[in-house]
Chain A
Amino acid sequence: MAGRNLLSLEGLSQEGILEVLDTAEIFAEVNTRAIRKVPTLKGKVVASLFFEESTRTRLSFETAAKRLSADVLSLAVASSSVKKGESLRDTIATIDALGIDAVVLRHAASGAPEQVSRFVPHVRVINAGDGQHQHPTQGLLDVFTIRRALAARAGTTGRESGAELFAGLRVLIVGDIRHSRVARSDVMAYTALGATVRVCAPGTLLPVDVATWPVEVVDDVDDALEWAQVVGVLRLQKERGTGSMVPSLAEFTLTHGLTWERFTRLAPQTLITHPGPMNRGVEIDSRVADVDTALMEQQVSNGVPIRMAVLYLALSGTSPEGSPVD
């Protein structure tokens, strides 16, 4: 993906994903140093435009940009001209006029990042989550997190293992698939790396075209959980109208929640991910969220090197020759 926008994981090959993961390994090492900063993107300007509030993703991107020594322009939409009725096109044109190299964009409308990439073709656009479409860096950090966990268990490193550890890996994604941009990106990332993916959700929370996805749809969540080596729990998106898609949150928990009882029947090594923020007690039991095999904290930490890698690759135009950080 060197020198390109990151709008979606669709069409990104296994090589493309490994390029990001391997670059992120280098930056993960930077994050363990006493001085967690490299001059790689010094002089570059990254704008972070969050039209939909997301503190954790914004902080993660801005931390990543700052560790690469880029200057960060952060638009707080709540207090900006957007609230006064300014169009997306005018907002972008205004920010662009300040002189920027990349824009990290979060928007409640699917496709907004692609539209912005047409408005400012000379600026690299990184999708930080758009509507119900894609959340590519989340998909990348999820597979990065799983690769690191599996590599540590196998006594190897992520870089050395490449995509090997994903061959035939049994991944279950459970919950609100229909409204989830994370599910769309995760499925693409896992399947590109060779994993076998199943999805399980109440009928109303499955996408209408799920039959065309490279996944198996399963109805029995308990069987599926026993089968899985990785369980990706999705956030129940109450804000996207999920509330009217199931009779009640309690019933969702009953039918598809990762309850303590279900957790005890998982294979002991099964890894659990969740993109956050969690609805504890709804899609995941509070105690389950805190077990050792639940990787939510690692997902957050790994978000930084993944976003460093994405910014680096988008802005440098090249794959790293040796190491970009020495």
Chain B
Amino acid sequence: MTDVLIAGGTVIHHDATERADVLIRDGRVADIAPSLARPAGAHVIDADGCWVGPGFVDLHTHLREPGREEAETVASGARAAAVGGYSAVVAMPNTEPAIDSAMVAQFVLDRGRDALVEVAVAGAITVGRQGTHLAPIADMAALGVRLFTDDGTGVQDPLILRRALTYARPLGVTLAEHCEDEALAAGGVMNEGHVSSRLGLSGRPALAEELMVMRDIELVRLTGCPMHFLHLSTARSIDLVRKARADGLPVTCEVAPHHLFFDESVCEHYDALFKVHPPLRTRGDVDALQAALRQGDVDAVATDHAPHAPELKDLPFDDAPPGMLGLEHAASITRGVMGDDPIGFFRALSRGPAAIAHLRARDERPRHTAHGGDVAVGEDANLVVFDAADTYRVERHGLQSRAHNTPYDGLELTGRARALVVRGIPRLDQGQLT
């Protein structure tokens, strides 16, 4: 394995920054010092002016394999992740068939073995994500699955969720919920409010999300099992989690980059690119989410990267599937929100999500190296070199993802990954896949 020298960057520790070079040997960090000599034959990554930190970890990636390979595969999604600066992603289980058995989980893990970045898997809470019968959580946990969710929808029946939490607690795994009460959401296609009414589109009220967050917090209080809240989108949802945490409950939450960036007004022209569940909310919600992220009240930015074949996004707004791409631009959006706070930036994109995914060195994690840790000698070398000043224009046809449904097309964004090292191997350098 070739040595790798990351030269000239600023290393971002969890509580400090340091101008230093980083030497990687045999898949681990071998040395950190202000100026390291280049070992013979080493691959040198120019990190001049860049932040060097733990590779990003995405808690919420839809890789679409098996079942929707025309939209994305494990391999193509991993390429998109690498371009985005991610060293690990968690594949969501709403595939066809769903990841609701050890067999399907094994299939995706096997596909991930050859991918550019590490692929962890989230399992379904219920069989077929139908919300009626518990999936074999322990069987999947034995393969290293640590996160369970029926994402796409939440578990609607409180009795089933209570059972799942009670069953999961001794297994040491975390349940994650897509919080929307589908009965109250009533088939709506965008945020309920004056924009939806003017457009004649049926609304998904904020309360549909908040009611389920309230319910789930109380079920966590009852059962003591940890829960992670996926893609919270309203100011009130964040407040609820904040209060639950103050009560000492084991809850964490993520926000998606699109909820940090767009408000509901972008739906104005019925472009189904902007259809997503939970929906894009009001400007006040966007501002509250941004403030919460800056204050450290949000544990992770997670992409909810949701590739869809182009013809599906050409359908009428009512009929198009929800979801948008995120892996390749989430770090830019996060950079925009966090400004010049590299420590907060890596907390949101790497250290926070790695803890929730059980991917740190201290976690028991069969098959996976450690992510989101300190940049320290002896740590697994999963590192990103991030150029926080690089300004570029998004071009939907220049993406690594198989799909093109990015909401950022044509926009100018600032900050992107210059290089990425996964398990000691450079996967991205000078912004290009190696």
Contact = CB atoms under 8 A, between A and B. Distances in A.
Contacts of B193: 208-209
A208 B198 CA distance: 10
A89 B319 CA distance: 13
Contact of B314 (A87, A107, A110): A87
B308 to A, nearest CB: 13
A212 B197 CA distance: 10
Interface string A256-277: 0000000000000000000000
B229 interface: no
Interface in B178-208: 192-194, 196-203
A138 interface: no
Interface in B234-281: 269-271
Given A181-B200, A184-B200, A112 B316 contact: yes
Contacts of B203: 208
Contacts, number: 68
A109 B198 contact: no
Contacts of A114: 269-270
A82 to B, nearest CB: 12
B157 interface: no
A83 to B, nearest CB: 15
A88 interface: yes
Nearest to B202: A132
A208 B197 contact: yes
A118 B199 CA distance: 17
A130 B271 CA distance: 15
Nearest to A132: B200
Nearest to A184: B200
Given A110-B201, A130-B200, A132-B200, A208 B192 contact: yes
A202 interface: no
A132 B197 CA distance: 8
A275 B417 CA distance: 58
A29 interface: no
B409 to A, nearest CB: 14
A108 B315 CA distance: 12
B311 interface: yes
Nearest to B203: A208
A279 to B, nearest CB: 21
B317 A109 contact: yes
A210 B193 CA distance: 10
A131 B197 CA distance: 11
Contacts of B318: 108-110, 131
Contacts of A148: none
A296 B146 CA distance: 65
A87 B311 CA distance: 7
Interface string B156-193: 00000000000000000000000000000000000011
A115 interface: yes
Interface string B307-331: 0000100111111000000000000
Contacts of A207: 197
Contacts of A212: 194
Contacts of B311: 87, 89
B270 A110 contact: yes
Interface in B86-135: none
B200 A89 contact: no
24 contacts: A87-B311, A87-B314, A89-B311, A107-B316, A108-B318, A109-B317, A109-B319, A110-B270, A111-B199, A111-B269, A111-B270, A114-B269, A118-B269, A131-B201, A131-B318, A132-B200, A132-B201, A133-B201, A134-B200, A181-B200, A207-B197, A208-B203, A209-B193, A210-B197
Interface of A: 10, 87-89, 107-112, 114-115, 118-119, 130-134, 181, 184, 207-210, 212
Interface of B: 192-194, 196-203, 269-271, 311, 314-319
Given A110-B200, A115-B271, A209-B198, 20 more contacts: A88-B315, A89-B311, A108-B318, A109-B318, A110-B201, A110-B270, A111-B200, A111-B316, A111-B317, A131-B201, A131-B318, A132-B202, A133-B199, A184-B200, A207-B197, A208-B193, A208-B194, A208-B197, A208-B203, A209-B194
